[in-house]
């Protein structure tokens, strides 16, 4: 026994590795094998085939490793939120001094507390009709503006922005930033959505994207909130929810008008490529040109019919010419209006192909002017300029045959310039 004035024995000095091995041996002798019940979180599958995850309950958590040999025997792939019972050995990972559970077998013990809460809320909101397909609206084919709700630091913001710049660089995008996980996420997400709802009322945005990247069930839990679900349903415009990866499903997905498997897919759903719009514009331009050509063909046929009925220059021909001139003016005016509308539409798309379409429309207008010139060539005054004369008697009737005259009869000849009074000397019948 050491006296009060005698020094105590110095404690043993361990090497770090030796102490880790001693702890591992102690745990192995005192505890192993063990059976543990808990909820899986942070599950990952390495390229080697090993499983790594955390097993937790409200009082604590434990790192777990399940190596490929044991993992290959499982009839299912574990996932975050699964409540499981495992058997294995408590060990120390000596290179880092970490306590871990090496899992040798695993079986389901229920769906887990997180998933049970998810199912209860889902059943409640579904019973209220928040998920009804009839409530959901189609996406606008050509939105005037896009609202975006996500975190400023999220990878989803970069992915969505890149997709929108590539597909619809001409559309404005209004970002309403909000936290996407943590205690402040739900109120910030609701405030961001409501800010965009105000812009939707005045037509600034026509569709809203609610996005974030993947994560564990805890990371995505903000999107399983009842208040957020009801806020999504209140949206005056369609909401596209792109939360997590393709296999992740949240309450927000059910409430949104459309679910996208990823944030990038959400952006692509609301952003029809500009090339498709230009192709549609070209098709519309072709229809316009075809319509103009058909109207010109109809006008030409009507002109041929009028010429055939009139036969020779007369007052009726002049009347028909005036009528045709009025129709030509109306046609040109209608065509010019349609061309101007098409030109305005092309300019808004800011594409070089629009300039080509405008040039083709201008060539069509030139064709109309040439058609007008051809109409002018049918003017009866041009016939008189070639040396012909229009004879009328004293009653103003047109004289076309010698049998209509008699010796001494007074006639008036209309020439290209002026008129001449004539007297018939002797009619000559052919």
pLDDT in tens, 301-356: 777 676 666 555 566 666 777 777 787 778 777 777 877 786 777 667 656 555 56
- 213 has pLDDT over 70: yes
* Helix axes 315-349 and 352-376, enclosed angle (nearest 10): 170
Q: Residue 216 CB: number of other CB atoms within 10 A?
A: 21
pLDDT in tens, 134-149: 999 999 988 999 999 9
Q: What is the DSSP letter of 75?
A: S
Determine the pLDDT at residue 309. Answer: 67
- Residue 129, classed as helix, strand or coil, is coil
**Sorting pLDDT into bands at 50, 70 and 90, what band is 32?**
confident
- Going by their DSSP bridges, the two strands 34-45 and 83-93 should be labelled as antiparallel
Average pLDDT score over residue span 105-114? 74
pLDDT in tens, 389-426: 888 888 878 888 887 888 888 888 888 788 888 888 87
pLDDT in tens, 220-267: 889 999 999 999 999 999 999 999 887 778 999 999 999 999 999 999
pLDDT in tens, 164-200: 999 888 889 999 999 999 889 999 999 999 999 999 9
Task: Compute the radius of gyration of the chain from its Cα atoms.
Answer: 44
Determine the pLDDT at residue 204. Answer: 92
Kindly report the pTM of this predicted structure: 0.48
- 298 has pLDDT over 90: no
Cα separation of 261 and 159, whole Å?
13
């Amino acid at each position: 026994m050491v006296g009060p004035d005698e020094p105590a024995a110095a404690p043993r000095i361990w090497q770090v590795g030796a102490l880790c091995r001693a702890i591992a041996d102690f745990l192995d002798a005192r505890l192993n094998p063990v059976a543990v019940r808990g909820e899986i979180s942070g599950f990952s599958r390495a390229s080697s085939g090993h499983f790594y995850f955390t097993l937790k309950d409200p009082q604590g958590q434990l790192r777990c490793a399940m190596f490929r040999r044991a993992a290959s025997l499982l009839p299912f792939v574990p996932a975050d939120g699964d409540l499981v019972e495992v058997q294995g050995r408590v060990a120390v990972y000596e290179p880092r001094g970490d306590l871990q559970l090496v899992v040798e077998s695993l079986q389901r013990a229920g769906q887990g507390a997180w998933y049970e809460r998810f199912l209860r809320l889902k059943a409640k909101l579904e019973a209220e009709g928040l998920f009804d397909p009839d409530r959901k609206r189609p996406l606008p084919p050509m939105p005037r503006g896009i609202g975006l709700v996500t975190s400023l630091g999220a990878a989803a913001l970069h992915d969505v922005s890149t997709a929108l710049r590539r597909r619809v660089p001409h559309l404005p995008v209004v970002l309403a930033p909000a936290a996407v996980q943590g205690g402040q996420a739900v109120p910030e997400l609701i405030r961001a959505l409501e800010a965009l709802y105000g812009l939707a009322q005045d037509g600034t945005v026509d569709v809203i994207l609610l996005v974030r990247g993947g994560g564990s069930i805890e990371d995505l839990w903000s999107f399983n909130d009842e208040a957020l679900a009801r806020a999504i349903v209140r949206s005056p415009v369609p909401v596209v929810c792109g939360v997590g990866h393709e296999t992740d499903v949240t309450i927000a997905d059910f409430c949104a008008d459309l679910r996208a498997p990823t944030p990038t897919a959400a952006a692509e759903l609301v952003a029809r490529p500009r090339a498709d719009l230009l192709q549609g514009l070209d098709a519309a331009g072709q229809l316009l040109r075809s319509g103009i050509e058909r109207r010109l063909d109809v006008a030409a046929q009507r002109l041929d019919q009028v010429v055939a009925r009139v036969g020779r220059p007369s007052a009726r021909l002049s009347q028909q010419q005036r009528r045709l001139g009025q129709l030509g003016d109306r046609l040109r005016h209608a065509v010019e209006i349609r061309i101007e509308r098409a030109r305005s539409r092309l300019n808004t798309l800011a594409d070089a192909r629009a300039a080509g379409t405008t040039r083709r429309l201008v060539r069509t207008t030139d064709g109309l002017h040439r058609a007008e010139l051809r109409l002018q060539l049918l003017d009866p005054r041009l016939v008189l300029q070639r040396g012909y004369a229009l004879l009328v008697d004293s009653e103003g009737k047109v004289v076309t045959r010698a049998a209509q005259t008699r010796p001494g009869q007074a006639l008036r000849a209309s020439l290209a310039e002026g008129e001449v009074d004539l007297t018939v000397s002797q009619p000559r019948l052919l």
